[in-house]
Amino acid sequence: MTDSELNTTVYYDDDADRSHIDDKTVAVIGYGSQGHAHSQNLAESGVDVVVGLREDSSSRAAAEADGLRVETPAEAAAEADIVSILVPDTVQPAVFENIRGGIEAGDTVQFAHGFNIHYNQIRPPEDVDVTMVAPKSPGHLVRRNYESGQGTPGLVAVYQNVTGDAREEALAYAHGIGCTRAGVIETTFREETETDLFGEQAVLCGGMTALVKEGYETLVDAGYSPEMAYFECLNEMKLIVDLMYEGGLSNMWDSVSDTAEYGGLTRGDDVIDDHARERMEEILEAVQDGTFAREWIAENQAGRPSYTQLKHAEETHHIEQVGEPLRDLFAWADEESDDAETAEAAADD
């Protein structure tokens, strides 16, 4: 179904042909955020599902209590026609070597993020289909939306199509987990991986936290109270983002005061200036040429020394010490914890 105002095609329930998955067995490897949602949604959609978990898995009891059949990853993969790899990206290469033997010609290896395929950390056999079905949401919402009859928007991509029916099968899987109820767009492994990494580094997780911290420190260093700086630079961020999310930039500008609008329109580009744009282009280049991927893989192989150090510095930043007691004093934090969880997990994908 093509919307003439879009540069892309959006697929809905009617565009998916469930016969491409209904007589197949799907192995869902992992029962974490995405894994529990995909396996339960597929099973309730009538698809034969087997969950693959390591011998000592702490999730086995939960999966069985949810009515699912559990095998080891290698057994589950051997039994299945579609193997959906839903363990953390950093452990996927090792897990894949463990299940490789059970993946036969004509089977499908499926991902929810393109990193390991795009950066050649997993090289699947040449005689299998390789696809992606990636809900644009954390797993608990994929599950909750399915249960409530709504859907979760998602992406599909095909990397290898030996059977000729990889795309149709991916759409059928997207139907099974509820994504085509909300709408699914087609992308490539390269585009999904590179835009995802760039966005989380430059704009969402990295860019936004840096903006918040610099603003907070500017106010506190100038003698304003940390509590005021926290509200102004961190807490209000959500209110502004919500307005943009609901109706774009114009909706936000229309909702704030004229003074805020004039001040923001005249000063924003002074902060995020040509220099910031050059840094963004460098970040994108490091994503595109694999520099970032190599760095992150080496960091994991070395036991995550920089990651651990940076994480600690962030956790002990002044704004964190000011924010924690403040959030406890106000009621909104509890009410909106679902939203916070959503944002946190969305940044993980």
Which are the catalytic amino acids? 113
- Closest to ligand NDP by CB, 54 or 100: 54
The percent helix, strand, coil of the chain (3-state, each to 5) is 60, 10, 25
- From the CB of 133, what's the least distance to Mg ion, in Å? 18
Contact in structure between 115 and 193 (CB atoms under 8 Å): yes
Pick one of Mg ion, ligand NDP, none as the site partner of residue 178 (Cβ within 5 to 8 A by kind). none
- Closest to Mg ion by CB, 25 or 235: 25
Among 34, 68, 107, 133, binds Mg ion (CB under 5 A): 107
In sequence order, the β-bridge partners of residue 131 are: 110, 158
Pick one of ligand NDP, Mg ion, none as the site partner of residue 104 (Cβ within 5 to 8 A by kind). Mg ion
Pick one of ligand NDP, Mg ion, none as the site partner of residue 107 (Cβ within 5 to 8 A by kind). Mg ion
Task: Based on the shown chain and the rule CB under 5 A, indicate whether residue 104 belongs to the binding site for Mg ion.
Answer: yes
- Closest to ligand NDP by CB, 71 or 348: 348
Binding segment (CB under 5 A) for Mg ion, from list 97-105, 190-198, 214-222, 278-286? 97-105
- From the CB of 154, what's the least distance to ligand NDP, in Å? 9
- From the CB of 62, what's the least distance to ligand NDP, in Å? 8
Count the neighbouring beta carbons within 10 Å of the beta carbon of residue 322: 19
Q: How far is it, in rounded angstroms, from Cα 76 to Cα 210?
A: 43
167: three-class secondary structure by DSSP: helix
Amino acid at position 224, single letter: Y
- Closest to Mg ion by CB, 105 or 210: 105
Tokens of 305: 């020394």
- From the CB of 313, what's the least distance to ligand NDP, in Å? 23
In sequence order, the β-bridge partners of residue 52 are: 29, 71
| CA distance readout (Å), 34 to 103, 176, 208, 311, 338 | 21, 14, 25, 24, 16
The two counts, helices (H) then strands (E), for the chain are 19, 9
Contact in structure between 32 and 54 (CB atoms under 8 Å): no
Pick one of Mg ion, ligand NDP, none as the site partner of residue 57 (Cβ within 5 to 8 A by kind). ligand NDP
Tokens of 211: 């903006």
Exposed e or buried b for every residue in 81-93, given b needs 16+ CB within 10 A?
Answer: bbbbbbbebbebe
Pick one of ligand NDP, Mg ion, none as the site partner of residue 87 (Cβ within 5 to 8 A by kind). ligand NDP
Query: Where along the sequence are the contacts to ligand NDP (CB under 6 A)?
Result: 30-35, 53-54, 57-59, 86-89, 91, 95, 111-113, 134-135, 138-139, 345-346, 348-349
- Closest to Mg ion by CB, 73 or 138: 73
Q: How far is it, in rounded angstroms, from Cα 174 to Cα 181?
A: 9
Q: Which residues bind Mg ion (CB under 5 A)?
A: 102, 104, 107
